[in-house]
C-alpha cells in the first residue's frame, strides 16, 4: 500500500476557556489516502471542524495544538516552523469554507480575490492570473464574464462554486472542505457534490469533507472517519463504516438518518442525550452515558481494535459488533435507558 498523503496521529487541540482547558480534540488518529475523499463525520461540537482547522494551523486565538503528529507529505505540520507552514498553505492545502458568503471579502471582485491568491501565492503575473481565473471558472462551470462581479451578486450555490475555484487555484494536493454544502438546498447540494467529485477524480486531489450529514458521506466519500467527543470512534472505508458500523455511535448515527437506498423503513431513531461537556468528559468511554450496550468495563479507557484491516474501532465490545448491529437496528434498543 502506498503511503497516505496525510496521517494524523494522536492529535490534541485544546481551547483555553477562562482558566480551564477544553480538549476539543483529544487524541485523534486517521489517515487520508492519496486521491480519495475522506468524510469526517460527527454531530456538532465533536471536534471535526477543529481537526480541519488544525490541519491548516489557522486556529482560534485561544486554541493550541497540544500534542500529536500531522504527517503530510513527509512533514509534520504540528512541528514545522510557521514560515514553512505558511509556504504550504493554499499551495498544498486549500480550504473550502461552509459559508462562501462570509468567507469572500465583500469589497473586492471575485477576480481580484482569485488574482490575489494566484499572484501573491502562486507567483503569477497579471496576465497569467487572468488566464488561470478564466480556466478555473470554466472548471467549476461559471461564465467567465462573471469574474468582474462582487460576491454579493452571486447566488449561494454559485458562491460555493467560486469557493471551490479558489481552492483549486494553485493545484493543491489536499482540499479541506468544511461543511461545503450544508447551507445549500438539496438540489444545489447534489450539483456541488457532483462537481467536487468530478474535479477530485480528474485532478487526482485528496479531499477531506467535514460534514454531519451521513447521506453526503454515502454520496461521494471513499473513506469515513467518525468522530465523537474529540476522539475518533471508528474509521474505515465508506462501505465498511456504513454497511458494517462497528462502534455503537456509528450504528446510532446510521439509524438517525433517512435510509440512503430510499427504502421506506419509515422510522428514524435518534440517539438520546447530547455529547458530553469536553471541559469535564466522563471517565472511560465517552459514549458510555448514551450507549445502549454499555457494560461496567466501559468505565475504563476503551482500546482501539481493528475489526478488519484498515477499520479501527474505539470500543471495548468491538469484537461483538456483528451481534450488536442486529440489536442496534431495533428502535427499542435506543429507547430503553442504558
Partner 1 sequence: MGNFKAVGSRLLQLALVLWAVVTILFLMFRLMPGNPMAAYIDPTFTLEQQQQLMAQFGLDKPLWQQYLIYLGNLLQGNLGQSFRYRVPVGERIFELLPNTLILTFSSLIIAYVFGILAGAYLAWKRGSWVEQAAIPMVLTTRAMPEFWLGMVLLAIFSFSLGWFPAGGTRNPGNEYSGLLDLYTSRDFLAHLALPAATLAIYSQGLPLLLMRSNMLDVMKEDFVTMARIKGLSNWTVVVRHAARNALLPVMTSFAIAVGYQLQGNVVVESVFSWPGLGRELVNAVAASDYPLAQGAFLMIALVVIFMNLLADLLYAFLDPRISHA
- Interaction site with partner 1 (CB under 8 A): 56, 58, 86-91, 95, 97, 99, 102-107, 109, 116-117, 120-121, 150, 152-153
Residue 90: partners with Cβ closer than 8 Å, 6 or more residues away: 117, 121, 169, 170, 172
Nearer residue to partner 1 within complex by CB, 69 or 86: 86
DSSP character at residue 117: I
Nearer residue to partner 1 within complex by CB, 85 or 260: 85
Asked if residue 65 lies in contact with residue 12, where contact means CB atoms within 8 angstroms, the answer is yes
Distance CA 71, CA 290 (A): 33
Here the cell at position 82 is 510557521
Give min distance, CB of 182 to partner 1, in A: 14
Give min distance, CB of 5 to partner 1, in A: 18
Asked if residue 241 lies in contact with residue 224, where contact means CB atoms within 8 angstroms, the answer is yes
Nearer residue to partner 1 within complex by CB, 9 or 89: 89
| Closest residue by Cα to residue 25 from 15, 17, 33 | 15
Give min distance, CB of 90 to partner 1, in A: 5
Give min distance, CB of 106 to partner 1, in A: 6
Give min distance, CB of 313 to partner 1, in A: 32
Which residue stretches of 58-213 are H helix? 82-88, 100-103, 110-116, 126-139, 156-168, 186-203
Residue 55 CA from chain centroid, whole number: 11
Nearer residue to partner 1 within complex by CB, 91 or 212: 91
Q: Where are the beta strands (DSSP E) in the chain?
A: 6-17, 20-32, 37-41, 63-72, 75-76, 93-96, 174-178, 206-211, 223-228, 231-237, 304-308, 311-314
Give min distance, CB of 193 to partner 1, in A: 21
Nearer residue to partner 1 within complex by CB, 105 or 135: 105
Distance CA 24, CA 103 (A): 23
3-state secondary structure of 76: strand
Nearer residue to partner 1 within complex by CB, 59 or 188: 59
Give min distance, CB of 100 to partner 1, in A: 9
Question: For residue 165, which phi and psi values (nearest 5 degrees)?
Answer: -60, -45
Nearer residue to partner 1 within complex by CB, 8 or 114: 114
Amino acid at each position: 500500500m502506498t503511503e497516505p498523503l496525510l496521517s494524523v496521529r494522536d492529535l490534541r487541540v485544546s481551547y483555553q476557556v477562562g482558566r480551564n482547558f477544553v480538549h476539543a480534540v483529544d487524541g485523534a488518529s486517521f489517515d487520508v489516502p492519496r486521491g480519495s475523499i475522506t468524510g469526517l463525520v460527527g454531530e456538532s461540537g465533536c471536534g471535526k471542524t477543529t481537526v480541519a482547522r488544525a490541519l491548516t494551523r489557522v486556529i482560534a486565538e485561544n486554541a493550541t495544538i497540544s500534542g500529536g503528529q500531522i504527517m503530510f507529505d513527509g512533514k509534520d505540520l504540528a512541528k514545522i516552523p510557521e514560515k514553512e507552514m505558511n509556504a504550504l498553505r493554499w499551495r498544498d492545502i486549500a480550504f473550502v469554507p461552509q459559508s462562501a458568503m462570509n468567507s469572500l471579502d465583500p469589497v473586492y471582485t471575485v477576480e481580484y480575490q482569485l488574482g490575489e491568491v494566484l499572484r501573491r501565492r502562486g507567483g503569477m503575473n497579471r496576465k497569467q492570473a487572468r488566464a488561470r481565473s478564466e480556466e478555473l471558472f470554466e472548471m467549476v462551470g461559471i461564465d467567465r464574464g462573471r469574474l468582474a462581479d462582487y460576491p454579493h451578486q452571486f447566488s449561494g450555490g454559485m458562491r460555493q462554486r467560486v469557493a471551490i475555484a479558489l481552492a483549486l487555484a494553485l493545484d493543491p494536493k489536499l482540499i479541506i472542505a468544511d461543511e461545503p454544502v450544508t447551507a445549500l438546498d438539496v438540489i444545489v447540494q447534489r450539483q456541488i457534490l457532483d462537481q467536487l467529485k468530478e474535479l477530485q477524480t480528474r485532478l487526482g486531489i485528496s479531499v477531506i469533507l467535514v460534514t454531519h450529514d451521513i447521506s453526503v458521506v454515502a454520496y461521494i466519500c471513499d473513506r469515513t472517519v467518525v468522530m465523537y467527543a474529540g476522539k475518533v470512534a471508528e474509521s474505515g472505508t465508506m462501505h465498511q463504516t456504513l454497511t458494517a458500523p462497528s462502534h455503537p455511535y456509528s450504528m446510532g448515527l446510521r439509524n438517525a438518518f433517512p435510509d440512503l437506498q430510499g427504502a421506506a423503513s419509515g422510522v428514524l431513531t435518534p440517539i438520546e442525550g447530547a455529547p458530553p461537556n469536553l471541559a469535564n468528559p466522563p471517565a472511560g468511554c465517552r459514549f458510555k452515558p448514551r450507549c445502549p450496550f454499555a457494560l461496567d468495563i466501559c468505565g475504563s479507557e476503551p482500546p482501539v481494535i481493528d475489526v478488519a484491516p484498515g477499520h479501527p474501532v474505539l470500543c471495548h465490545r468491538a469484537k461483538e459488533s456483528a451481534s450488536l448491529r442486529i440489536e442496534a437496528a431495533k428502535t427499542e434498543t435506543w429507547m430503553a435507558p442504558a
